[in-house]
């Protein structure tokens, strides 16, 4: 059986609802089983990557620091929608490294190359 290429599409802000934490948990679980995982950040999901957030101000857990564990789970394919950053007047001042900033067409092309996409 061939391995499926799985994408996790992050579209939710980090502390607005549990979607962002759930997406992270799924990525790490799948990574621990050596699945081929690619992470995508689009829309409000790009907020998950921004440096120096203060979740304690909204009584939320600081789960974003866990993104640093990606390398231990062989999660190496991380794609960010450039248009989503521009729409929110954000720069790519992220708390992770080794991501690929893509325009909308490239982002869509990468998503369509996958066998399965989970949207959070």
Model confidence pLDDT, tens digit, residues 10-46: 999 998 889 999 999 999 999 999 899 999 999 999 9
Cα within 13 Å of Cα(61), Cβ side: 7
* Average pLDDT estimate for 72-83: 95
The model's confidence at residue 75, banded by pLDDT at 50, 70 and 90, is: very high
45, two tokens: 């999901």
* Average pLDDT estimate for 55-62: 69
| pLDDT at residue number 107 | 98
- The number of folded domains in the chain is 1
- Three-class DSSP category at 65: helix
The CA R_g of the chain, rounded to the nearest whole Å, is 14
What percent of the chain lies above the pLDDT cut of 70? Answer: 93
CATH number for the domain harbouring residue 67: 3.40.1260.10
Cα(22)–Cα(113) distance, rounded to whole angstroms? 23
Range of the domain at 77: 5-119
Q: Is the pLDDT of residue 110 over 70?
A: yes
Whether the Cβ atoms of residue 35 and residue 3 lie closer than 8 Å to each other: yes
| pLDDT at residue number 58 | 66
Q: Is the pLDDT of residue 2 over 90?
A: no
């Amino acid at each position: 059986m061939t391995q499926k290429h799985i994408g996790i599409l992050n579209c939710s802000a980090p502390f607005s609802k549990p979607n962002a934490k759930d997406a992270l948990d799924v990525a790490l679980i799948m990574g621990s089983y050596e699945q081929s995982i690619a992470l995508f950040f689009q829309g409000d999901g790009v907020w998950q990557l921004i440096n120096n957030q203060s979740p304690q101000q909204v009584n939320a857990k600081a789960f974003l620091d866990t993104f640093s564990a990606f390398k231990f789970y062989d999660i190496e394919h991380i794609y960010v929608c450039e248009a989503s950053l521009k729409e929110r007047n954000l720069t790519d001042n992220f708390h992770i490294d080794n991501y690929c900033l893509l325009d909308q067409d490239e982002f869509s092309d990468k998503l369509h190359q996958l066998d399965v996409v989970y949207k959070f």
